[in-house]
Structure 1
Amino acid sequence: MADSPPQITDLIKKFEQNIDSYRNQAYGEAEVRVEFINPFFEALGWDVTNKAGYAEAYKDVIHEDAIKVGGTTKAPDYSFRIGGTRKFFLEAKKPVANLKEETGPAYQLRRYAWSAKLPLSILTNFAEFAVYDCRLLPKENDKASTGRVLYLTYKDYVARWGEIAAIFAKQAVLQGSFDKFAEAGKGKKGTSPVDDQFLAEIEGWREALAKNLALRNPKLSVRDLNFAVQRTIDRIIFLRMCEDRGIEPDGQLLALLNGENTYKRLHYLYNLADDKYNSGLFHFKPEKGRAEAPDELTLKLKIDDKVLKDIIRRLYYPESPYEFSVLGADILGNVYEQFLGKVIRLTAGHHAVVEDKPEVKKAGGVYYTPAYIVDYIVKNTVGKLCEGKTPKQISGLRILDPACGSGSFLIGAYTYLLNYHRDWYVNDGQQKHTKEIYQGSGGQWLLTTQEKKRILLNNIYGVDIDSQAVEVTKLSLLLKVLEGESGETIGKSLKLFRERALPDLGNNIKCGNSLIGPDFYANQQMSLLDEEERYRINIFDWNVEFREIMMAGGFDAVIGNPPYVRIQGLREWAPLEVEHYKERYQSASKGNYDIYVVFVEKGLSLLNKGGRLGFILPHKFFNAQYGEPLRELIAKGKHLAEVVH
């Protein structure tokens, strides 16, 4: 058993000698953090105050008490990280608090950690130290002991130091002991991961909204119904996440529970958001220079108060288990990836039903790309292209995901670029780059809103055949722009630059079939295709949609997880496309090919001479007959740099 270090013995003595003053209501949370909690975790090997001077992305500990809304903290006090990845949260309280019995602090901590999908987190005021399994769905009436897997008082620290250090010392976390301890408690009754829970939540909203919109708006087409439902959900999630991040006034959606005409009052918030953000999400009026037409549909529709109020009520304490300030882009992406696997249909009597998309049914479900795979591919494509370059040199990089889905790869690429730029500016001398970076609370360096917008519009591009996926990708990227922002920074941007907070992504993220260009109609008579078929085929002309990039030679990086659909399945709902791929693509010329081989060929053709492609694919094309043409294409072009199996 490890001996406790002398500084722990000193902390305990100090606490005992002045216990009455420390347990006085006047002794605050900030003091206990500086005097006791920080040195406690320094004794466990954590660089709590960043004495090593690490770049922002690699700090051991982030003090996330910066987001305060109406006096309430909207983020946990500490986030402990390894290599920039969160491992556990710590929530600090005054020593006067009774952590063993009080339910509020435990519920707060568990909501944070559960929403961030962290298995364990700590609640402490130094006098008490409690560890919680945060995979259990937090409920308002839970006891303080629910999910608690370890409880100690300061008198136990010396005797049980070995136990504490074996799990929470930095070295133990690096060596995997923390993960082993967390894994041992996995799968307990009552565990429900946040992404599964939130998916069930928004699927319930979709069904309720679809049925109500179809009932109250009998002339609504199936396409418009899908659009209206998706937009309503996206807008509500966006506004709620902005509230918890301190960008929107706290409780503004909650206020809609009082009174009637909920949807009309929601319009008012939408219009305020349009003035503030400029994103396509709230684009209702024609504006010069906008890439896309305004939404002239949704504000004319009718939605019953009850449906909207039921949704809003589930977004707030006490009914909501979610803390939107810590709900990560990867979690939201996973939820939406699954969500997009279903579509709303209308029956003959104009009733709405939700069904699996045919391609999802054939594939046996939706498969989300794990974050570590996204990070690996981004690092080995975008990362390699950025090495040793200045922001000015990087500004010309064009990064594409040709089947972007919910946007996980584009979020990964954008995050990499944001971190690279911030670290470059800090290392080059902060005083030289006041237009690009500023120091936020807690001393951390952040990119300005202007700079984040510039990087996004310059570098990130995506295409998807599904218009709803395109909107979700935009939503995810816009929420990424707003990370670290506050009402104050957004207000400054409006005042100083006379610019709204978010970019219009209509020219960057587009809807269409990446594999089918206008030559499709050279062999097909358009008059023989009905509107639904043309909409399904959804041709995409790369030379028109991304004219400047294609004229300059193509994209610098093509990344992603293309769809895997065998041709036998595709024939059932897209027979014309199947024949076109066979005629148009070398990779589709042999046997019962899978659509992903066509995406590889197309991706390679979209790259410029020095470009890099990174896809995650099934390995079957290495030895299957249908993979022969693709293997030949890769070999002849000397395209292969690395295979990770």
Structure 2
Amino acid sequence: MVLRQLTKEESKVRIKELVDEYTTKIKDREHSLDERNTERFIERILQILNWDIDNFDQVLRRDSVKVEDRTKIPDYVLYINGEKKVVVEAKAFSESLDNPKYIKQALEYGYYKQVRACILTNGKEIRVYDPFILSKSSEGKLLFSVHINQYENLFDQRLWFLSYNEIKENTILAKFASKGEVKKPVSEEVIDNIIKGRKFLIDSILHLNKIDDFKVAREHAHKIINRFLFIRVAEDRRFFKEFDHGRILEDRVNIFKKRISQKIKPLMNEIKELFMEINEVYNGELFKPHPCEELKIDSESLEKVIYLMYYIKHENGEEDQVDFSKLDADVLGGIYEKFLGTIIHETKRGKLVEKVDSGVRKEMGQYYTPQYIVDFIIQNTINLYLEENPDKLFSIKII
């Protein structure tokens, strides 16, 4: 059923009624109200702005989760025609939106969802950020804010721009967003970093090792980058339960820096030891002994590559930390497919240049499998098997 869209004047009347309800029924006891009350209040604002909160094609809500022994209010992603348009980071009535942690969460959420309009709200205040604005301060990314006592008076100038039809027309960006430089989507930044890191490795391998075949040097660099990518994704998604450290690549760099004055061994030796440790635990194809581990790679270049695996540095000096756990599976798959399809070539003058070459992916037999295909395969193999053999749940081995 399609809900009737409220006119701007009708929405303004409803907002006034909601503000009055807050003043008479909520304000004096907001500290005693649980998260569900705040959630309902935020959803009523969305409804007044013509978002159909019961339509999964428009509004998706995450389940409440425990964070540091506290229940975190669900976040919302607002869609129009299947495209993410707005993310909402919701906090309780009693929480202050000035908390730097909350602002950081909201900006990261919008950045990794690759959405320009990001709302941070506790119901009684709404702040709208553009996480893609190049600014070292969160204030520089703020499009506008409005307090509950301004909801009615600034409805035309602020709140209405968050309504379904206004978001559909992108008027919020046209009116409030910066006209200056903006960040590229995080997926593009990550692939740029990976390719840049691969260039550093190839250049160092060619200069410090007796390798005449450029393709061999490229394959060695590709192997190392593949391992680094696996480590970074596993770190951020908390797969490395066998290791005490959350950022094991950076840890090796720090160990190396502490020893650098002693001139004990190059950074590549630390990385080789890490590869061996991972292979002992996981015993997979990726970390089996490989000639790339015996290469000479200058420590400065290797440190740069590892930095690129953790951080995105923008032209204005602003730095974002790469968090692979926040990237959707399809985005991560797209990054890897672009990495496979972007090949480094050496010109006759010895310059390294990038070239998109899907034929190399075919030659290497490496492709990203889309999530919907993975889901279909699992549903029609593993799930079917477990339905018929529920007693095998804890003994089944998947290779």
Alpha carbons of 1:259 and 1:416: their partners in 2 closer, same or farther (altered >3 Å)? closer
**5+ residue gaps, structure 2:** 1-8, 257-265, 313-317
Moved over 6 A (4+): 162-165, 401-406, 418-422
Q: Deviations over 1:384-431 (max 9, x none)?
A: xxxxxxxxxxxxxxxxx97999846x3155256279769xx8xx9xx9
Contact 1:166-1:177 within 8 A present in 2 as well: no
**Within 5 Å, which residues of 2 pair with 1:178-189?**
178=168, 180-181=170-171, 184=174, 188-189=179-180
- For these two proteins, the number of residue pairs brought into alignment is 358
* Structure 2 counterpart SS, 1:207: helix
Query: By how many angstroms is 1:235 displaced?
Result: 2.0
Alpha carbons of 1:196 and 1:59: their partners in 2 closer, same or farther (altered >3 Å)? closer
2:295 aligned to 290, 301, 321, which one? 301
Contact 1:115-1:322 within 8 A present in 2 as well: no
**Within 5 Å, which residues of 2 pair with 1:244-643?**
244-248=236-240, 250-260=246-256, 261-274=266-279, 280-282=285-287, 284=288, 296-314=290-308, 315=310, 319-336=319-336, 339=339, 340-345=341-346, 353-357=351-355, 407=367, 410-411=369-370, 413-414=372-373, 417=376, 496-497=394-395, 499=397, 503=399
Contact 1:12-1:154 within 8 A present in 2 as well: no
Is 1:212 matched up with 2:204? Answer: yes
Find the aligned partners of 1:434 and 1:10 in 2 and give their Cα distance.
55
Query: By how many angstroms is 1:63 displaced?
Result: 1.7
**Within 5 Å, which residues of 2 pair with 1:12-91?**
12-18=23-29, 22=31, 33-45=35-47, 60-63=59-62, 78-82=75-79, 86-91=84-89
Q: Deviations over 1:331-365 (max 9, x none)?
A: 445545555333243879xxx642244x76xxxxx
Q: Deviations over 1:163-192 (max 9, x none)?
A: 6764545xx1xx573452355367831212
In the alignment, residue 128 of structure 2 is paired with which amino acid?
Answer: V
Find the aligned partners of 2:389 and 2:172 in 1 and give their Cα distance.
43
Find the aligned partners of 1:403 and 1:167 in 2 and give their Cα distance.
50
Alpha carbons of 1:117 and 1:308: their partners in 2 closer, same or farther (altered >3 Å)? same
In the alignment, residue 44 of structure 1 is paired with which amino acid?
Answer: L
Query: By how many angstroms is 1:203 displaced?
Result: 2.8
Q: Which residue of 1 aligns with 2:4?
A: none
Contact 1:11-1:36 within 8 A present in 2 as well: no
* Structure 2 counterpart SS, 1:130: strand
Percent identity reads 18
Alpha carbons of 1:15 and 1:253: their partners in 2 closer, same or farther (altered >3 Å)? farther
Query: By how many angstroms is 1:131 displaced?
Result: 0.8
Find the aligned partners of 1:85 and 1:355 in 2 and give their Cα distance.
34
1:92 aligned to 90, 93, 96, which one? 90
Q: Deviations over 1:601-641 (max 9, x none)?
A: xxxxxxxxxxxxxxxxxxxxxxxxxxxxxxxxxxxxxxxxx
Please give the root-mean-square deviation of Cα atoms over the aligned residues, in Å: 4.6
In the alignment, residue 247 of structure 2 is paired with which amino acid?
Answer: G
Find the aligned partners of 1:38 and 1:63 in 2 and give their Cα distance.
14
Q: Which residue of 2 aligns with 1:145?
A: 139
Is 1:177 matched up with 2:188? Answer: no
In the alignment, residue 77 of structure 2 is paired with which amino acid?
Answer: F
Alpha carbons of 1:433 and 1:208: their partners in 2 closer, same or farther (altered >3 Å)? same
* Structure 2 counterpart SS, 1:281: coil
Contact 1:235-1:281 within 8 A present in 2 as well: yes
Alpha carbons of 1:94 and 1:44: their partners in 2 closer, same or farther (altered >3 Å)? closer
Find the aligned partners of 1:186 and 1:330 in 2 and give their Cα distance.
28
Alpha carbons of 1:328 and 1:354: their partners in 2 closer, same or farther (altered >3 Å)? farther
| TM-score where L is the length of structure 1 | 0.46
**5+ residue gaps, structure 1:** 285-294, 361-365, 367-400, 437-449, 451-492, 504-645
Find the aligned partners of 1:190 and 1:328 in 2 and give their Cα distance.
25
2:106 aligned to 87, 96, 109, which one? 109
Query: By how many angstroms is 1:326 displaced?
Result: 2.2
* Structure 1 counterpart SS, 2:170: helix
* Structure 1 counterpart SS, 2:376: helix
Contact 1:76-1:89 within 8 A present in 2 as well: no
Query: By how many angstroms is 1:223 displaced?
Result: 1.9
* Structure 1 counterpart SS, 2:144: strand
Q: Which residue of 1 aligns with 2:259?
A: none
Q: Deviations over 1:208-251 (max 9, x none)?
A: 21222222322363222111212222222222222222323522
Contact 2:202-2:221 within 8 A present in 1 as well: yes
Q: Which residue of 1 aligns with 2:3?
A: none
